[in-house]
Amino acid sequence: MIITVIFLVIVGGISLSQAVSDPHQVTLRWLRLGGIIAVTLLAVAVTIAVLTEPKIQPTDWGLLALTATVLVIQLTATQKAKHQIQRRAAGCGFLLASGTAGTIVTHHLTTAINLPSIAITTALSAGLVGGTLMTMLLGHAYLTAGNEMTQKPFMRLLLMVITLLILRLIFSTMWGGYSYYTSSRTGPNSWNLMMMMARYLVGFGVPAVFAYMTYDCIKRRANQSATGILYITYVMVIIGEGAALALLGATGWAF
C-alpha cells in the first residue's frame, strides 16, 4: 500500500497548492494541469489498491470515492473559471486526500502510534510532496506564460514548501528519531539506520539547501534556473518520504 499512500499524498499536496494560490495570479493552464494530474494519480492509486489489497476497508473506499468527486468538481470549476468554487474544492481535496492516506496507513501499515500523529504527518507530507511538484510546474509555466504572471505566486508557493519542510522536520524528529532512540522496543538495525540517513540527509538536508538556492533564483527572476533546481528537489523529497513510510512500517514511528 506504500505506492497508493504516496500517490494520495501527492494528490493532496496538488490540491493544497491550488487552494493557496490566487487563481487570478496564475494561469488557467497551470490550474488545469494540476487538476488533471490529481485525477489521474487518484485513478492509479485506486487501481493499485484494487489489485494489491482486495480486503481494503469500506471506510477507505468511501473516502476515495468522496475524494474523486471533489477533484472532479475542482477540475470542472477550473475549466469554467469558477475561481471560488475551484479554491474551496481544492481545499477539501487536500483534506480528503491526506485524510484518506492517513486512514490507509493506520489500517495497513501500522497501529503502533496515535491517530493525531498520523493525521499531522500525512497532511505535512502531502503538502510538501505535492507542493514541491506544483511549485516546479509553476516555474515551468513561467517559461511559456510570457508576462502573464508576476513573481508573487512563485514565491508564495516556495515559502509554503519551506514552511512545510521545517514543520515536517520538527515533527519527524520528535515522533520518529527521538522516539526510536529512546524506545526500549527498538534496537540497533543497520537497515533502519540506512533509511534514517536517507530520510534526514536526502529528504531534509538536500531540499533545504536547494530551497534556499531556489529562493535566491526567484528573487533574481531566474525562473528557468529555479525550475531546474526544483526538479532535483522534488526527487529528493520523494526519496525522503518513501524512506519515512518504510521506517513507519518497520518501526511503527512517524518519521
Query: Would you say residue 114 has pLDDT above 70?
Result: no
Q: What is the residue extent of each domain of the chain?
A: 2-251
Q: Given this model, what pLDDT does residue 117 score? A: 80
Closest CA to 82 of 91, 71, 93, 73: 73
- Distance, CA of 244 to CA of 242 (rounded, Å): 5
| Mean pLDDT, range 187-211, rounded to an integer | 88
The three grid cell numbers given for residue 223, joined into one nine-digit string: 525562473
The residue with cell 526544483 is: 230
Which residues in 111-128 are b (16+ Cβ under 10 Å) and which e?
eebeeebbbbbbbbbbbb
User: In this structure, how many other beta carbons lie within 10 angstroms of the beta carbon of residue 185?
Assistant: 8
User: In this structure, how many other beta carbons lie within 10 angstroms of the beta carbon of residue 242?
Assistant: 20
Within 8 A by CB and 6+ apart from 24, the residues are 83
- Contact in structure between 90 and 19 (CB atoms under 8 Å): yes
Q: Write the single-letter amino acid at 72.
A: V
The three grid cell numbers given for residue 12, joined into one nine-digit string: 493532496
The residue with cell 525550475 is: 227
For the ranges 50-59, 157-166, 245-254, which has the lowest average pLDDT? 50-59
| Mean pLDDT, range 215-244, rounded to an integer | 94
Q: What percent of the chain has pLDDT over 70?
A: 93
2-251: which CATH architecture? Up-down Bundle (1.20)
- Contact in structure between 71 and 207 (CB atoms under 8 Å): no
